[in-house]
Structure 1
Amino acid sequence: MSYSNNSAFNMKNPTVDAPSKTLSKFFTFNENSLQALSEPYFWFSRPEDFNDPFESKVSIIYPDNVWKCIEAFDALAARSTQEDWRERSAAARETAQTDPNYVLEQLRPRLEEIETFSFEKVRKASMCCFFNEQDNKKDDLNILMWAHYGNGLKGFKVEFESQILIDTLPKEIAMLPVAYSKKFPTVKMLDLVNAYARSDISGAALLLVAHIGTKHSAWKYEKEYRFISDTRGEHKYDAKAIKTVTFGEKMPEAQRKVIAAVTRSINPNIHYYEAKRSSDSYQLIKTPLTL
């Protein structure tokens, strides 16, 4: 399965929940962030590199009802060249009358093949994660995001125009808003088989991405939006997408000047701000800067 052919998650598809007008990324000042800004590009990482210990985990549920399983394979065979199953279907039904568990055991390898085929591409996906600010000024000053990803106000945040990113990143890149839930994501194998039997590729895709688009509700403060690619590593974008740069209060002046110089060299229209702590409340305050 290629993401570029996946209409449910194609970046140009209007049925997908679009990001807010702007998306943001937090950075620590280092050689990697400077290089990514100067070229400019985003780095797409594999899920195993992320900080969530349950990243991309999903419970795959195999069927325990032999008749539903046989019906699903009958429907799939009707739309494919699985002549061997058509020949075996009658025998499976006859055996299931007296020994349903035996039939389920015999069908298990076929289901495992479908699982491997279906999840192979998705499990190898690489992603780039953004903060989806929802056009809310308070989101811009999210204390936890600055603490966890903005290096405790020693880093900086870059705000991007969403539409420019969507228009200029490679078309094969998909997008996906993260869903937050206390329930562990599950995929029922029969749902997947039935989706293939209906030639419902979009429906199958919705099932397959459950494990890369669901996180525990404890992460809800991230308001995460993901760009997804088959390829790990650098993905270039148009520097015109950069709208603002906000420096954390604790970021040294020398580092700010370096970031300002790098970003101005690729886009002279960027506005600069500082996020600083309030003196009388648990809030951050954003003020414009002249550099």
Structure 2
Amino acid sequence: MEQREIDRLGRSVSAIGLGTWQLGADWGDVDGDSAVAVLQAAADGGVTFFDTADVYGDGRSEQTIGRFLREGGADGITVATKMGRRAQPHESEQYTLENFRAWTDRSRANLGVDRLDLVQLHCPPTPVFSTDAVYDRLDALVDEGAIAAYGVSVETRAEALEAIARPGVSSVQIILNMMRMGPLEEVLPAAREAGVGIIVRVPLASGLLSGRYDENTTFAPNDHRTFNRDGQAFDVGETFAGVPFATGLEAVRRLVPLAP
């Protein structure tokens, strides 16, 4: 497995990471043993980077990773989690140091670690990206030893560029795949220049780019690929990268001869 050095993170991670939203919720039913088996298979394949969030199954994804690490999971795993979506309402005023401490404490307990490797703001309201005090609070968490580094998960390229310009930001997580290639133009070059890691999310467009689905495919009622196709539950970009299912299927058929 190829390793990538992230300058601002100060460590190398596998070029391919494992997203673990599906081990928490919103992808149909996944039992605990099967979830741990997924983590083990990834580690056996050379994956050293797991991505999770405190709201994936209300902490279930984090707890599963914690179990894996506790039961002797592969050494050298970097775990990135996220915070912010527990805020109700989800507004920029909720991004306080008090909440940051509470959220990171909960994630540390779920993962069974004293210090989190990487914490990302979980697609926060746009004003957060330009609020100096937010970055000061994140720096405080680093100084306190609760987190080793921080980054952001974004919805737009403008948010990504705003974050990359901040000297303390170690990573930016953004949608990038064959159907959503906009970040290649500005975001990736800016990140490379700044030494910021790019975490690609929705790389297979929620499985659409696997080529496994057709017009007859159905998903479980508790799978976001059933209930969020038009953005009814959360940002539509999280489901099939925001591409209508039928359009995506046609695109995949056109891609197959290029990447059999």
TM range (shorter): under 0.3
Normalising by structure 2, what TM-score? 0.25
Q: Which has the higher contact order (CA 8 A, sep 6+)?
A: 1
Larger relative strand fraction: 1
Normalising by structure 1, what TM-score? 0.23
